[in-house]
């Protein structure tokens, strides 16, 4: 039985909370640090109701080195870190680039500087398929070239990958894994935790569920004239619980010293490209609800089509996505109904 302690930064956020649940289910002890800038403290109640264990929680900012030192002094036996602490809205990053560079780079640098001092073996970095830009071919594997980022947010992911690779290569006692997520969607099947964006949702599925719930008037499908089977963009939608389990496998690999290089990269997706229109019709069919939507002009910066080649993660990590798109879209609606009190 694992009793190793893992630090989850940004652990009350969407992916962080689901990963905390899966870590605790796997027998890890979890310490969360989060500044609650894009999440709520009540998430801890959901985690506790699902797992029976309330994770240790520190309200604080990972960009504040002194806060981290106090955390490591208080919890001196942390074996690994999963780093979700980052600002993540593409549009906002274009308007406020310095905020994104400070939050996303300084947080990682602080953690990497303190890891050797406190005997932390490895760190999992939440990267993104945005590093690939518009792919030359699909499905795309980890050897594909990194393209020039189209936003400061995307650029921070590339720079953080570079920093982690360079540090792991230079220092023998720091190991790193970057997980390049595709499009995380859905919620825990209990409907006790899920994606709860503040303000207008930046991601497709929360906008779909809020429109179905009557909170948003109409969903815009950006572009129906792309060179794809139905004219809408293609994405690889990965269930958030499957994604969370990939983090557990990755951190276990480093804690147990099974990584083959000091720094490794894995795609985390389903390996299937699904169009926006397909996702919408699946949501309506599975949940028996209509989503008011309209076709809008293309959005600048949107990639036409991208989906993952997950062979490396399947074979090397022994991980693969298990939940179907229908199951995931059903969980997203159950979560939305629970939050809004819809019967």
C-alpha 240/C-alpha 15 separation (Å) is 7
Q: Is residue 193 part of a domain?
A: no
How many domains would you assign to the chain? Answer: 2
Q: Which of 185, 222, 199, 139 is nearest to 328 (CA)?
A: 185
| Residues 167, 47 share a domain | yes
Helices (H), the chain: 14-25, 43-51, 65-74, 90-95, 97-101, 107-114, 152-170, 204-212, 240-255, 276-287, 311-312, 325-340
| Residues 297, 155 share a domain | no
Q: What is the 3-state secondary structure (H, E, C) of 173-233?
A: CCEEEEEEECEEECCCCCCCCCCCCCCCCCCHHHHHHHHHCCCCCCEEEECCCCCCCCCCC
| Residues 246, 213 share a domain | no
Give the pLDDT score at 343: 86
| Residues 218, 153 share a domain | no
Give the pLDDT score at 1: 46
Give the pLDDT score at 90: 82
User: In tens digits, what is the pLDDT along the chain, a chain of 343 residues?
Assistant: 458 999 999 999 999 999 999 999 999 999 999 999 999 999 999 999 999 999 999 999 999 999 999 999 999 899 999 999 999 888 889 899 999 999 999 999 999 999 999 999 999 999 999 999 899 999 999 999 999 988 899 999 999 999 999 999 999 889 999 999 999 999 999 999 999 988 889 899 999 999 999 999 999 999 999 999 999 999 999 999 999 999 999 999 999 999 999 999 999 999 999 999 999 999 999 999 999 999 999 988 889 999 999 999 999 999 999 999 999 999 999 999 999 999 8
Give the pLDDT score at 184: 98
| Residues 215, 291 share a domain | yes
Residues with active-site annotation: 153
Give the pLDDT score at 3: 82
Phi/psi of residue 296, each to 5°? -120, 165
Residue found under tokens 């890890």:
28
| Residues 73, 151 share a domain | yes
Give the pLDDT score at 183: 96
The CATH number covering residue 216 comes to 3.90.25.10
Range of the domain at 63: 5-185+237-268
Q: Which pair of structure tokens corresponds to residue 197?
A: 């964006």
Q: What is the pTM of this model?
A: 0.97
- Residues 7-34: b if buried by 16+ CB within 10 A, e if exposed: bbbbbbbbbbbbbbbbbbebebbbbbbb
């Amino acid at each position: 039985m694992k009793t190793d302690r893992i630090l989850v930064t940004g652990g009350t956020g969407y992916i962080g909370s689901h990963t905390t649940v899966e870590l605790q289910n796997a027998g890890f002890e979890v310490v969360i640090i989060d500044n609650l800038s894009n999440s709520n403290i009540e998430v801890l109640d959901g985690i506790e109701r699902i797992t029976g264990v309330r994770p240790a929680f520190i309200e604080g900012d990972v960009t504040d080195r002194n806060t981290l030192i106090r955390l490591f002094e208080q919890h001196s036996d942390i074996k690994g870190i999963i780093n979700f602490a980052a600002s993540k809205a593409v549009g906002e990053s274009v308007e406020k680039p310095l905020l994104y560079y400070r939050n996303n780079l300084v947080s990682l640098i602080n953690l990497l500087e303190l890891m050797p001092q406190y005997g932390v073996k490895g760190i999992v970095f939440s990267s993104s398929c945005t590093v690939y830009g518009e792919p030359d071919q699909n499905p795309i594997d980890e050897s594909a070239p990194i393209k020039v980022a189209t936003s400061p947010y995307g650029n921070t992911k590339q720079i953080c990958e570079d920093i982690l690779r360079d540090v792991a290569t230079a220092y023998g006692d720091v190991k790193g894994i970057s997980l390049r997520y595709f499009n995380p969607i859905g919620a825990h099947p209990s409907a006790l935790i899920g994606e709860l964006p503040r303000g207008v949702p930046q991601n497709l599925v929360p906008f779909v569920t809020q429109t179905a719930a009557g909170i948003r008037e109409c969903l815009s499908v950006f572009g129906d004239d792309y060179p794809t089977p139905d004219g809408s963009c293609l994405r690889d939608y990965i269930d958030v619980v499957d994604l969370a389990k990939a983090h557990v496998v990755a951190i276990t690999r480093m804690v147990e010293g099974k990584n083959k290089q000091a720094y490794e990269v894995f795609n985390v997706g389903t390996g299937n490209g699904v169009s926006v229109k397909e996702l919408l019709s699946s949501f309506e069919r599975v949940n028996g609800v209509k989503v008011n939507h309209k076709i809008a002009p293309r959005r600048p910066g949107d990639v036409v089509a991208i989906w993952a080649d997950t062979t490396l993660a399947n074979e090397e990590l022994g991980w693969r996505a298990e939940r179907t798109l229908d199951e995931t879209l059903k969980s997203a609606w159950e979560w939305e109904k629970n939050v809004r009190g819809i019967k």
